[in-house]
Amino acid sequence: MKLAIAAIVTVLASPAVASDLTLDIASRGSGGSIAVAVYRDAASFRRGEGPVATRTVPRNGPVTSVVIPGLAPGRYAVAAFHDTDGNGDLTLWPIGVPKEAYGFSNDARGRFGPPPFDAAAIDVPARGARGAFTLR
């Protein structure tokens, strides 16, 4: 019994494993910022709601590196856009088509919306991961 309690205390006292996801995001145009949202499950990714992490960084050249720190090891999908007008939202044309460049991890593409979660999924192990994609 004492051994079991000691094992539980050791597990609870251990720090949680956190990983960094580094993304190299290519974009055309200039200025503005790159807005990134990281999703843990297919439902929230599909709806574009409830990301587990977000980050907005200045676009600093044809390829902007964005680090998402502190992710638990697992499977994630990423959506990003080039916020050229600085309003913090993906700007759309009146017919609902994005006006600003956008993209998804693995360069996954969807028809009339985001791609399937599995097409965009990136595995992030405990040692962290790096991915690259292009905004179009």
Q: Exposure of 46 by Cβ count < 10 A (0-12 exposed, 13-18 middle, 19+ buried)?
A: middle
In this structure, the number of other CB atoms found within 10 A of the CB of residue 7 comes to 10
pLDDT at site 113: 87
Q: What integer pLDDT is reported at residue 80 of this predicted model?
A: 98
Alpha-carbon span 102 to 3, nearest angstrom: 53
Q: What is the pLDDT of residue 112?
A: 83
pLDDT along the chain (136 residues), means of 10: 44 66 95 97 96 97 97 98 96 94 97 94 98 97
Asked if 79 contacts 98 with a C-beta cutoff of 8 angstroms, the reply is: no
